[in-house]
Amino acid sequence: MMQIDNLADTMFAAAATVLGRLVEQSAVAGTSVRADHEGSIHTEGDELVALGEIPSLGAQLVVRFQRDDLAHIVGVMLGGDESVGELGPMQLSIASETVSQIAVAMAERLAEDIGASTAGIHAELCSDATLLPPPPFQSYSAPVRLESDLAPRIAVDFAAITLSKLGSSEEPVPVAASATAAPFAPSKPTAPPVNAAPAQFAPIVPTQSKKTPAGQANLDLVHDVPLQVRAILGKTVMQLRDVVSLQQGSVFELDKLAVDPIDIYVNNILIARGEVVVVDDKYAVKISELNPQVG
């Protein structure tokens, strides 16, 4: 099991991958530095704060960004090479989506590294400090260096409950260590086989408990898990400079004809197609095809 310091480094690497993709530049995360945060985290001032949720762990992550760094990042995303200055509504929307995607990537990497499920992981900008977990926090920060010489610094805060979850995940480590030490005690011939079994199968047990039972014997346990369902009328690709220039009355075309069915996604997976209907003055979707072929 990886130590918290190593987990933080892989999380910042995931953040660099997402940020590099968003700004279309190569991005490399620097080595993380521990800087524990003893007080409450404020959602106003020089930082933007994202709150990430990891349902499989019942844990939260706080990811912090400097406003000045995000202003420079948004400037690059809009096709420039300078900061946009004060974040207006449109720029703040872009920054919010950016920090959410980065926080989700970091949370997913953490879950993957400790063998937990990534299902349902989400994150969003948090403007209400009362929604954040209480201090103290075990905190890490690292710069992410971009081709354009920008090096925005990202900080992640592990709340006490998250640390307790990670600590419980690390309990199998002493078992593996004892198995290694067993060959040095030949006076107890029965000890090596007893200790060797947990060392061989401890990494496999979590994988089986998360995949096989969840999809079969314990399916009832996940029936109440909320899923994001989206009905997509159509899509198009636009440059960010075109997006920020949209005004009331602007018109742009989608990639579908008016007679084409709409796509229905659950957790970003295409599951059906249908047609738009109106039920009690609300838009609804009538399913016309289940499990359609993509394309």
pLDDT score of 156: 95
**Could you tell me the residue range of the domain that residue 270 belongs to?**
229-290
> Binning pLDDT at 50, 70 and 90, where does residue 102 land?
very high
> Same domain for 206 and 69?
no
> Same domain for 160 and 203?
no
> Same domain for 8 and 144?
yes
Residue 187 in domain: no
Say which residue, 64 or 183, is predicted with more confidence: 64
pLDDT score of 172: 34
Peptide bond into 136 cis (omega under 30): yes
> Binning pLDDT at 50, 70 and 90, where does residue 119 land?
very high
Say which residue, 203 or 118, is predicted with more confidence: 118
Q: pLDDT at residue 245 above 60?
A: yes
pLDDT score of 145: 94
How many folded domains does the chain comprise? 3
Across the range 263-274, mean pLDDT stands at 83
> Same domain for 65 and 129?
yes
Q: pLDDT at residue 81 above 70?
A: no
> Same domain for 177 and 259?
no
Residue 94 in domain: yes
Across the range 38-60, mean pLDDT stands at 88
Q: pLDDT at residue 254 above 60?
A: yes
Q: pLDDT at residue 19 above 80?
A: yes
Lowest mean pLDDT, pick from 9-13, 119-123, 165-169, 276-280: 165-169
> Same domain for 256 and 277?
yes
Residue 281 in domain: yes
pLDDT score of 2: 65
> Binning pLDDT at 50, 70 and 90, where does residue 8 land?
very high
Q: Residue 142 sits in a domain of what CATH number?
A: 3.40.1550.10
Q: pLDDT at residue 124 above 80?
A: yes
Residue 154 in domain: yes
> Same domain for 66 and 135?
yes
> Same domain for 245 and 212?
no
pLDDT, tens digit, for every residue of 190-230?
Answer: 444 444 444 444 444 444 444 444 444 444 545 566 777 88
> Binning pLDDT at 50, 70 and 90, where does residue 175 land?
very low
Q: Give me the residues paired with residue 270 across strands.
A: 265
* Residue 246 identity (one-letter amino acid): L
Q: Residue 251 sits in a domain of what CATH number?
A: 2.30.330.10
Residue 272 in domain: yes
Share of the chain above pLDDT 70, in %: 77
Q: pLDDT at residue 112 above 60?
A: yes
> Same domain for 255 and 274?
yes
pLDDT score of 1: 47
The mean pLDDT of the chain is: 78
pLDDT score of 202: 44
Residue 70 in domain: yes
> Same domain for 54 and 67?
yes
Across the range 145-167, mean pLDDT stands at 88
> Same domain for 11 and 28?
yes
Q: Which residues are CB-contacts of 73 (< 8 A; sequence separation ≥ 6)?
A: 19, 22, 23, 95, 98, 150, 152
> Same domain for 116 and 262?
no
Residue 188 in domain: no
